[in-house]
C-alpha cells in the first residue's frame, strides 16, 4: 500500500478535564474514502478539527504527506473542507466569496474546478447576497468551496445535511472523483445510507477512542448484511460479546 | 492579511449597524449644533456624547460581529493562511469601518460648523477611542466562549471606563481633599483612555480654568506638545496592549 497521506500518532485532545480524543493511532491513505462514525460526543469533530489545525492536540502528532503539521499553514493548501454549518459574511455575494477564497488560496483560473458551480445551479446566483440564501444553498456554496481547488484531502462534515437528494448525489459524485484521482476523503455523517456506497473503510469512534477501522466489504460480509445501518449494530454487538469494550 | 481585510471591509461597508452608527452620530452632532447658538457650547455637549457613545458602540459592535462571524473565521482558519493574518485583517477592517462611519457622522459636522483645533482634537480623540475599544472588544470576544457573556463583559468594561473610574477618582479626591493629591490624580486620570480623550479636548476649549487646580495641572502637562505626545502614546498602548493579547489568544485558541 502507498505511504499514508495522513497519520495520527498517539493523538489526544483534552478540554478541561474531559478527553475528547484519546491515544488515536490511525493512518488514511491516498485513493480511499473513510467514513468516520460514532455517537454524539464520540470525538469525530475533534478528530477533524485536529487535522484541520482548528484545535491543537494535547498529546501526539499528525503528519500530512509525511510532514508533521505545526504552525505553518501551508499544508492546508492540499485540504478542502466542507463544514456542517456554513455561515458566511452576510453582505458578500456568492461571487465575492468565491473570489475571496480563490485569492486566499492563491489559485488561478486554470487550476480551479468550477463544474460544481454550474451543476448545483449556483452560476445564476453569483450576484445574490449570502444573507439571502437558504440553508441548502449555503451548503452548496460550502461544497463548491471545498471542492473547487481539487484538493488532495477532502474533509466533509455531514455533507448531505440540508441538501436535496440530487445535489447531495452530485456533491458525493465529486468526492468520489477526488478518490479516483488519488485523493483521501474523510466523511462524517449520520445519514449512512447516503454515504455508504462511497466508503472504502469505516472508522468507529466512541468516548474519544477509535474502537475499530475496517473495510466496508469486511463489515458487510462478516455480518451478512447488505446495508451498513443494519450491519453496524450487529458488529458492535459481536464486539461487545467478544469483550472488546465497544 | 490584505485579502481578509478587503473582503471583511466590503462586508462591513454594507453592514446596517455601521451605517446606523454613522447616521446616529450625524443626527446627534447636527442636532446639537442646531439647538445651540454657540458652536463651542455644542462642542462641549458633543464631547460628553462622544466619550460615552464611541466606546460603547465600538465595544458592543466588535464583540457581536466577532461572535457572528465565528463560523466564517473557522473556515478562514482552515485555509493556507496564518492565523495572525486573519486576525490582523479583521481588526483592521473593523477599525476602518468604524473610523469611516465616525468620520462621516462626526467629522463632517465638525468641519462644517466648527473648523478649529478643539474640533480636530475631538475627532482625533474619538478616533483613538474607536481603536482602543475595538481592540478591547476583540480581546473580550476571543476570551469569552459565549456571546451573551462576551457582551456582558463588554458592557461592564464600558461601565468601568466611562462611569466607575471617574467616580472612584472623585471619591479619592474628596477623601483626600485636605492633601495636595492632584499631582497623583492626573496620571491616574490619564490611565483611562476615555478621561484622557476628554481632558485633551477640554484643554483646547480652554475649559481648564473651570477645572480648578486639577485643570491647571492638566494644562501644565497636556497643554504642551510633549504632553499631547504622551497622551498619544498612552492611547497607542491601550490599542496595542489588547491587540497583542488578542494575537496571542487567537494563535492558541481552539476554534
Concatenating the DSSP letter of every residue in A22-83 gives EEEEEEE-TTEEEEEE-STTSSHHHHHHHHHTSS--SEEEEEETTEEP-S-GGGGGGEEEE-
- Find, among A150, A144, A135, the residue nearest to A86 by Cα: A135
The answer on pLDDT for B166 being more than 90 is no
Q: How confident is the model at residue A238 (pLDDT cuts 50, 70, 90)?
A: confident
The answer on pLDDT for A83 being more than 80 is yes
Chain B residues in contact with A104 (beta carbon < 8 A)? 3-4, 76, 79-81
- The residue range of the domain holding B34 is 2-252
Query: B105 and A103 in contact (C-beta within 8 Å)?
Result: no
Which of A172-176, B7-11, B53-57, B225-229 is least confident? B225-229
- Find, among A67, A57, A80, the residue nearest to A208 by Cα: A57
Q: How confident is the model at residue B140 (pLDDT cuts 50, 70, 90)?
A: very high
What pLDDT does residue B3 have?
83
Q: B74–A54: do the CB atoms touch at under 8 Å?
A: yes
pLDDT digits (tens, 9 = 90+) for B64-103: 999 998 888 988 999 999 999 999 999 999 999 999 999 9
B149 SS3 class = helix
Q: Chain B contact for A107, CB < 8 A?
A: no
Q: B80–A96: do the CB atoms touch at under 8 Å?
A: no
- Closest partner CB to B8 (pick from A87, A89, A101): A89
Q: How far apart are CA A186 and CA A153, in angstroms?
A: 8
B22 SS3 class = helix
User: Pick the residue with more confidence: B117 or A60?
Assistant: A60
Q: A101–B12: do the CB atoms touch at under 8 Å?
A: no
Q: What is the mean pLDDT of residues A57-84?
A: 91
Chain A residues in contact with B71 (beta carbon < 8 A)? 83, 85-87
The answer on pLDDT for B213 being more than 60 is no
Q: B254–A56: do the CB atoms touch at under 8 Å?
A: yes
Q: Locate the domains of chain A by residue range.
A: 6-241
A-B Cβ pairs (cutoff 8 Å, strict): 79
- Closest partner CB to A81 (pick from B10, B78, B251): B78
Q: How confident is the model at residue B214 (pLDDT cuts 50, 70, 90)?
A: low
The answer on pLDDT for B233 being more than 90 is no
pLDDT digits (tens, 9 = 90+) for A101-159: 888 888 877 778 888 898 888 888 999 998 898 888 999 999 999 999 889 999 999 88
Q: For chain B, how are helix, strand and coil distributed in percent, rounded to 5?
A: 85, 0, 15
* CA atoms within 13 Å, Cβ hemisphere of B151: 9
Residues 143-182 of A with CB under 8 A from B: 145
Query: Beta A209-215 vs A201-206: how paired, if at all?
Result: antiparallel
User: Pick the residue with more confidence: B209 or B45?
Assistant: B45
Which of A146-155, B148-157, B172-181 is least confident? B172-181
Buried b (16+ CB within 10 A) or exposed e, A86-115: bbbbbbbbbebbbbbbbebbebeeeebeee
Q: How far apart are CA B182 and CA B188, in angstroms?
A: 10
- Find, among A16, A31, A75, A86, the residue nearest to A50 by Cα: A75
The answer on pLDDT for B211 being more than 60 is no
Per cent of chain A over pLDDT 70 is 98
Phi, psi (deg, nearest 5) at residue B3: -70, -45
**Report for A192-206, B3-17, B158-172, B239-253: range of highest mean pLDDT:** B239-253
Chain A residues in contact with B76 (beta carbon < 8 A)? 104
The answer on pLDDT for B141 being more than 70 is yes
What pLDDT does residue A243 have?
66
- Closest partner CB to A91 (pick from B3, B11, B83): B11
Q: Chain B contact for A103, CB < 8 A?
A: yes
Q: How confident is the model at residue B246 (pLDDT cuts 50, 70, 90)?
A: very high
Instruction: Given CATH 3.60.130.10, say whether it is the number of domain A6-241.
Output: no
Chain A residues in contact with B79 (beta carbon < 8 A)? 73, 76, 101, 104-105
C-alpha cell at B46: 458633543
Neighbours of A39 (CB within 10 A): 12
Average pLDDT score, chain B: 87
Chain B residues in contact with A73 (beta carbon < 8 A)? 79-83
Greatest alpha-carbon span in chain A: 58
What pLDDT does residue B25 have?
93
What pLDDT does residue B209 have?
53
Query: B129 and B51 in contact (C-beta within 8 Å)?
Result: yes
If one counts the domains in chain B, the total is 1
Amino acid at each position: 500500500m502507498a505511504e499514508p497521506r495522513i497519520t495520527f500518532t498517539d493523538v489526544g485532545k483534552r478540554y478541561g478535564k474531559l478527553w475528547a480524543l484519546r491515544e488515536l493511532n490511525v493512518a488514511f491513505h491516498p485513493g480511499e474514502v473513510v467514513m468516520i462514525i460514532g455517537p454524539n460526543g464520540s470525538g469525530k469533530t475533534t478528530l477533524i478539527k485536529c487535522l484541520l489545525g482548528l484545535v491543537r492536540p494535547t498529546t501526539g502528532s499528525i503528519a500530512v504527506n509525511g510532514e508533521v503539521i505545526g504552525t505553518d499553514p501551508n499544508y492546508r493548501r492540499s485540504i478542502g473542507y466542507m463544514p456542517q454549518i456554513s455561515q458566511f459574511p452576510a453582505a458578500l455575494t456568492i461571487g465575492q466569496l468565491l473570489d475571496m477564497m480563490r485569492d486566499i488560496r492563491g489559485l488561478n483560473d486554470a487550476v480551479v474546478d468550477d463544474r460544481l458551480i454550474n451543476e448545483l445551479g449556483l452560476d445564476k446566483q453569483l450576484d445574490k447576497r449570502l444573507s439571502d440564501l437558504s440553508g441548502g444553498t449555503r451548503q452548496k456554496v460550502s461544497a463548491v468551496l471545498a471542492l473547487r481547488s481539487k484538493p488532495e484531502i477532502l474533509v466533509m462534515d455531514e455533507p448531505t445535511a440540508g441538501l436535496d437528494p440530487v445535489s447531495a448525489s452530485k456533491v458525493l459524485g465529486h468526492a468520489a472523483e477526488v478518490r479516483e484521482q488519488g485523493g483521501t476523503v474523510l466523511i462524517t455523517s449520520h445519514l449512512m445510507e447516503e454515504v455508504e456506497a462511497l466508503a472504502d473503510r469505516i472508522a468507529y469512534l466512541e468516548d474519544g477512542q477509535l474502537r475499530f477501522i475496517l473495510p466496508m466489504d469486511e463489515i458487510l460480509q462478516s455480518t451478512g448484511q447488505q446495508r451498513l445501518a443494519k450491519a453496524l449494530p450487529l458488529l458492535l454487538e459481536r464486539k461487545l460479546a467478544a469483550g472488546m469494550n465497544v | 492579511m490584505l485579502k481578509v481585510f478587503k473582503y471583511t471591509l466590503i462586508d462591513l461597508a454594507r453592514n446596517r449597524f455601521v451605517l446606523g452608527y454613522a447616521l446616529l452620530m450625524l443626527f446627534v452632532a447636527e442636532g446639537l449644533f442646531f439647538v445651540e447658538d454657540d458652536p463651542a457650547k455644542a462642542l462641549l455637549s458633543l464631547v460628553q456624547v462622544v466619550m460615552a457613545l464611541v466606546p460603547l458602540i465600538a465595544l458592543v459592535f466588535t464583540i457581536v460581529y466577532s461572535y457572528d462571524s465565528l463560523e466564517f473565521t473557522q473556515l478562514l482558519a482552515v485555509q493556507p493562511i496564518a492565523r495572525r493574518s486573519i486576525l490582523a485583517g479583521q481588526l483592521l477592517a473593523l477599525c476602518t469601518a468604524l473610523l469611516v462611519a465616525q468620520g462621516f457622522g462626526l467629522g463632517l459636522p465638525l468641519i462644517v460648523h466648527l473648523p478649529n483645533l478643539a474640533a480636530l482634537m475631538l475627532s482625533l480623540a474619538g478616533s483613538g477611542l474607536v481603536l482602543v475599544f475595538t481592540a478591547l472588544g476583540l480581546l473580550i470576544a476571543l476570551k469569552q466562549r459565549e456571546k451573551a457573556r462576551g457582551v456582558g463583559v463588554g458592557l461592564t468594561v464600558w461601565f468601568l471606563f466611562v462611569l466607575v473610574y471617574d467616580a472612584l477618582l472623585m471619591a479619592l479626591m474628596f477623601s483626600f481633599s485636605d492633601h495636595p493629591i492632584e499631582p497623583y490624580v492626573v496620571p491616574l486620570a490619564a490611565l483611562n483612555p476615555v478621561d484622557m480623550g476628554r481632558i485633551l479636548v477640554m484643554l483646547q476649549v480652554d475649559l481648564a480654568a473651570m477645572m480648578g487646580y486639577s485643570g491647571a495641572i492638566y494644562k501644565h502637562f497636556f497643554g504642551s506638545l510633549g504632553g499631547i505626545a504622551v497622551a498619544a502614546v498612552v492611547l497607542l498602548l491601550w490599542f496595542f496592549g489588547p491587540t497583542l493579547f488578542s494575537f496571542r489568544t487567537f494563535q492558541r485558541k481552539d476554534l
